[in-house]
Amino acid sequence: MVAVIDYDAGNIMSVIKAVEHLGHEALLTRSADEILGADHIILPGVGAFGDCMEKLRSCELEDVIKKAVDKGIPFMGICLGLQLIFEESEESPGVKGLGLLKGKIKKLPEDKGLKIPNIGWNSLSFPREGRLFRGIDEGVFVYFVHSYYLQAEDESIVTATTDYAAHIHASVEKDNVFACQFHPEKSSDPGLKMLDNFLGI
């Protein structure tokens, strides 16, 4: 069973439909027992960093997520879900993230003549091998919607990058924690392959 964490954020149903399309049972939940008993966990989300951290904490999900990661359950953050697993964001100064991984979320610079937010398809480079990208060619295009981007402290966890107004750490992997700034569930067949790779871990 795949637990999709429910904290009233946007873009959750498209993730559930993608998981079910791949032949897995998806359960939208904020139950500690269901999350800790899941085979895989996905933290999706679209919204503001501070608001969503407040929702996670009001739903008493912060400690549950940390326990699940410590337990070794494969965990994946998508879009805002990637940003929340890091330490802090320029979007919400003073608000602490989950801190599962070290790094900061920064605002895309507006002085490059590019539209912000970045909405559309960007190609990925693979600085190192990541399990999400097995069977996927470098240069693949995936779908982004974001105004903020990750700058990971430890670049050895970065498995995919792209460039749009800045050099963006687009995907990370460390032990059982995975995350993508882009939306694999909206990235056609290659995105579904990435999700399938995650669900096979």
Rounded CA separation 81/102 (Å) = 14
Beta bridge partners of 51: none
Please give the helix or strand (H or E) that residue 3 lies within, else none. strand 2-5
Output b/e per residue, 30-45; b: 16+ Cβ within 10 A.
beeebbeebebbbbbb
Which of the residues are catalytic? 79, 183, 185
Distances (CA, A) of 154 to 23, 45, 69, 169, 182: 34, 24, 19, 11, 20
Closest by CA to 78, choosing from 177, 157, 197, is 177
Contacts of 117 (CB under 8 A, 6+ apart): 108, 145, 146, 147
Distances (CA, A) of 160 to 33, 34, 46, 56: 33, 31, 20, 27
